Structure 1
């Protein structure tokens, strides 16, 4: 009996030791059993302009399958509510892991510097078009990563141009001068039956394309003073007024608030100076043929870059996992998939030509416009906090020029005073 009792105690003791050994070797609580990595949840604040939200959900699903310890919660908000949502989460001490942003400067101080996670800032930035760099490399910190890029360009009514016998440039080697472009528009109105030569979006951003083509800028390269009232700025403003006074553009858009999209859709306008996102917007037009051609040049070619970015926030507790997901999103394969399926333009240098289901050739022209864009355009518009301080007044000053109340020089001088004040206030 004693022998049986001893054997029983030894067996129980060995069983306990074995259980402890298995527990020590097995996955820890809160970890993925297969990889041993801790389970994490990443909140990702997101807004959508179109169908890109569904594309992102598919990408997230693929990532989660490859990384079963990571769960990504897409928090969808309206674009108009984005900044308020982020500010509330950050000030409440619960920043999201990630956010899609347009204004990188507004949250640059709260952004995680991605540099330690990507190995080399130089190697990381070299993947993307140069004109976007000022938007996400702020004070030598990688505060975000580009997801898509936008450009201003020229959409035209093929039907009207063909009727007038006017051929558009088919190569960047033979783009119009401004004089040639205006002559072409006049011919399309006279012989093609167009009511107006062109419409131009009612925004300082779209207007500034003309400024850069004439060799100007809003702010000096070092950001210390206004340059908008240079000779180039005055000439660009005079040209903008001439387009209205000569009847090439209707005054109803800049003076009356008429929607330029609706005017172009009516089939009575030869061209629309707009952004690449209008390719997707106009794809349902069936009452006439339309396309994209190269913008004219002043002393140089130029568009204006913009885009949307993904940012990781400090203090989320999952900084490494957030940076890993950003690295995944910006790889060639994933970023190309995202932009191709969303009908966006990729910011990657090696993805300027994607096999879009619609508008492939048109996107390539917009990409070429970006390739030939003045670096001063990004230098200006990447200063987004600063620009918001004077952009509305700049627009109003341009309106006064068109309506004949002030001269181009007066408008640019008034704008320069406002820009200098904004720069001064920002430095205090």
Structure 2
């Protein structure tokens, strides 16, 4: 019944378009209600950049955008409640579109020329519906990767890797341990307690939870076991802080405090730390390219902009999403918030960042090195459950409750179940 009502409302509201924009029929249309609701959560530096873009859009379009900022922790619950009550926002920012796929608007109905095929290929299967619908737009991209304490590397006389010639895993570990010894730090490397972050290591060792098309489990047990063994050995030797993972259980925990306290010279996290460390770090630091093993590159993540079939202003919602994800808008957001763009033209041309340009370019360069299976895995609706299982099994290995081989078998089984559940 909700779908029928939404369809009727959509038919009545095809005229909902910003003045001076072209609707699906090619004619100039007017907005019946010049207010769009945008349900939004913030990662920090993006909020002011987003508000600035919205202010410009309001001036150009005559449409008022009601930015409704909510905590990320209850975003999904709040959105589900609004959908159930027939009160969907016109636009929403999501980290995971899977729970809402059946409610999403096909943006190709209104902005196909502006949006279709413009974004990173790795997200295509995730944002495309069964019949080719464009259900979401990747609005920003994250990339995992190492951050290093430059002061400690200099003191140890250890060179940082060239952006075009990344470390091998053995080289990164050897360099980190040499710096650790020279500076008497507690650890050589640290990694956030996160299945997403460990997936970076899996990818570099040549495997991922799912295949490149996202339709099947792709975890190679031999390659995954090699990654788990290396991770376990580094923790057992004291090169990495095993207690961090053991005490966190299956909950996410960042290792940023260890890096900021200068107790590790290498920290495997991601580009979102650039803005934070620009304010918080009391030493010279830099981003380094991801280490290679069988493959190079990092592991992606990101956010999406969507609209809903329930929206009474579908055309206006699609116009707003197209504006916010134009080349000019994405470049501006990337510069102001230290984000990575998702548009293929911007990934190709690059972005000149006003702050920490060299570091952001390191992360951006790794986007092209990252294999398709990494994108397919992170964008799979089965990823969250698989990543949680990985953290749980890794903790058991560190606690010597099971072997790396047993852990990989359990992770693969969890990925298979998660994928089956989503289907």
TM-score by length of 2: 0.87
Partner of 1:236: 227
Matches within 5 A, 1:54-203: 54-68=48-62, 70-120=63-113, 124-139=115-130, 140-172=132-164, 174-203=165-194
| Matching residue within 358, 371, 379 for 2:355 | 358
Separation in 2 of the partners of 1:102 and 1:214? 26
Separation in 1 of the partners of 2:296 and 2:187? 24
Matches within 5 A, 1:314-329: 314-329=309-324
Tell whether the 8 Å contact from 1:177 to 1:297 is kept in structure 2 after alignment: yes
Separation in 1 of the partners of 2:346 and 2:214? 31
Task: Check if 1:371 corresponds to 2:383.
Answer: no
Separation in 2 of the partners of 1:66 and 1:222? 40
**Residues 254 and 129 (structure 1 numbering): CA distance in 2 closer, same or farther, change over 3 Å?**
same
Separation in 1 of the partners of 2:276 and 2:17? 45
Task: Check if 1:413 corresponds to 2:409.
Answer: yes
Separation in 1 of the partners of 2:422 and 2:330? 35
Tell whether the 8 Å contact from 1:149 to 1:347 is kept in structure 2 after alignment: yes
Give the secondary-structure state (helix, strand or coil) at the position aligned to 1:154.
Answer: strand
Tell whether the 8 Å contact from 2:18 to 2:61 is kept in structure 1 after alignment: no
Return 5+ residue gaps in structure 2 as ranges. Answer: 1-15, 21-27
**How many residue pairs get matched?**
393
Give the secondary-structure state (helix, strand or coil) at the position aligned to 2:189.
Answer: strand
Task: Check if 1:346 corresponds to 2:341.
Answer: yes
Shift of residue 52, structure 1, vs aligned partner: 2.0
**Residues 301 and 390 (structure 1 numbering): CA distance in 2 closer, same or farther, change over 3 Å?**
closer
Shift of residue 229, structure 1, vs aligned partner: 5.1
Higher relative contact order (CA 8 A, sep 6+): 2
| Matching residue within 321, 325, 330 for 1:330 | 325
Tell whether the 8 Å contact from 1:219 to 1:380 is kept in structure 2 after alignment: yes
Describe the superposition over 1:57-84 as per-residue Cα deviations: whole angstroms up to 9, x where unpaired: 222221121122x221111111112111
| Matching residue within 367, 390, 401 for 1:394 | 390
Larger Rg: 1
Shift of residue 212, structure 1, vs aligned partner: 0.8
Shift of residue 308, structure 1, vs aligned partner: 0.9
Shift of residue 292, structure 1, vs aligned partner: 0.7
Shift of residue 361, structure 1, vs aligned partner: 0.7
Partner of 2:291: 296
Separation in 1 of the partners of 2:77 and 2:66? 19
Partner of 1:53: 47
Shift of residue 177, structure 1, vs aligned partner: 1.1
TM-score by length of 1: 0.86
Describe the superposition over 1:34-59 as per-residue Cα deviations: whole angstroms up to 9, x where unpaired: 99824422111111121322222222
Separation in 2 of the partners of 1:32 and 1:184? 56
